[in-house]
Amino acid sequence: MSRPRPLVSLDLEPPKPDPGADEHGTPRKTWYHYLPLGFLIVLMLAPHPSLLIVLVNHYLRTLHNPIAFCVHLFIIYTLTFLAFSSLIVCVARDPGPISPDSSETETDDENEDMGLTEALLAMGDEDMSPARWCRKCWASRPERAHHCNTCGRCVLKMDHHCPWLGSKCVGHRTYPAFVHFICCVTIFSAYVAWVSGSAFWYAVKNPYEVDQVTPVHELFLLMAGVVFTLVMGSFLIYHLYLISTNQTTLENLSPFIILRHLPPLPAHLRLSDPPLEHELSYKQRRLVQRAQKSVRMYDVGWRKNWGQVFGWTRRWGLLYRILVGGGGKGDGRSFPRNPRAGEMLSRLAAALVTADKDA
The region of weakest confidence among 39-53, 102-116, 341-355 is 102-116
Of 106-120, 184-198, 259-273, the range with the highest mean pLDDT is 184-198
Higher pLDDT, 238 or 3: 238
Q: Mean of the pLDDT values across residues 253-259? A: 87
DSSP-assigned states of every residue in 236-286: HHHHHHHHHHT--HHHHH-GGGGGGGPPPPPGGG---SSPPGGGS-HHHHH
Cα gap 345→265, rounded to integer Å: 11
Higher pLDDT, 49 or 14: 49
Q: Mean of the pLDDT values across residues 134-158? A: 86
pLDDT of residue 273: 78
pLDDT of residue 143: 86
Q: What angle do CA 92, 39, 55 make, to 5 degrees?
A: 100
Cα gap 303→312, rounded to integer Å: 9
* Mean pLDDT of the residues in the chain: 82
Q: Mean of the pLDDT values across residues 172-201? A: 95
Phi, psi angles (nearest 5°) of residue 100: -65, 150
Instruction: Assess whether pLDDT exceeds 90 at residue 1.
Output: no
For the segment 279-301, what is each residue's pLDDT rounded down to a tens digit? 888 888 998 988 888 888 899 99
User: 3-class SS at 187?
Assistant: helix
Q: Are 104 and 117 in contact (CB under 8 A)?
A: no
The region of weakest confidence among 19-33, 186-200, 250-264 is 19-33
Higher pLDDT, 78 or 4: 78
Q: Mean of the pLDDT values across residues 17-34? A: 67
For the segment 121-132, what is each residue's pLDDT rounded down to a tens digit? 444 445 445 557
Q: Using pLDDT thresholds of 50, 70 and 90, give the confidence band for residue 120.
A: very low
pLDDT of residue 25: 55
Q: What angle do CA 187, 80, 238 make, to 5 degrees?
A: 35
Cα gap 187→208, rounded to integer Å: 32
pTM of the model: 0.82
Instruction: Assess whether pLDDT exceeds 50 at residue 171.
Output: yes
pLDDT of residue 200: 95
For the segment 302-326, what is each residue's pLDDT rounded down to a tens digit? 888 888 888 766 666 666 666 656 6
Q: Mean of the pLDDT values across residues 223-247? A: 96
pLDDT of residue 54: 95
pLDDT of residue 321: 65
Query: What stretches of the chain show up as alpha helix (H) in DSSP?
Result: 35-45, 47-54, 66-92, 109-112, 116-122, 125-128, 175-205, 214-245, 249-253, 282-292, 302-310, 317-324, 341-354
Contacts of 12 (CB under 8 A, 6+ apart): 116, 117, 120
Instruction: Assess whether pLDDT exceeds 50 at residue 242.
Output: yes
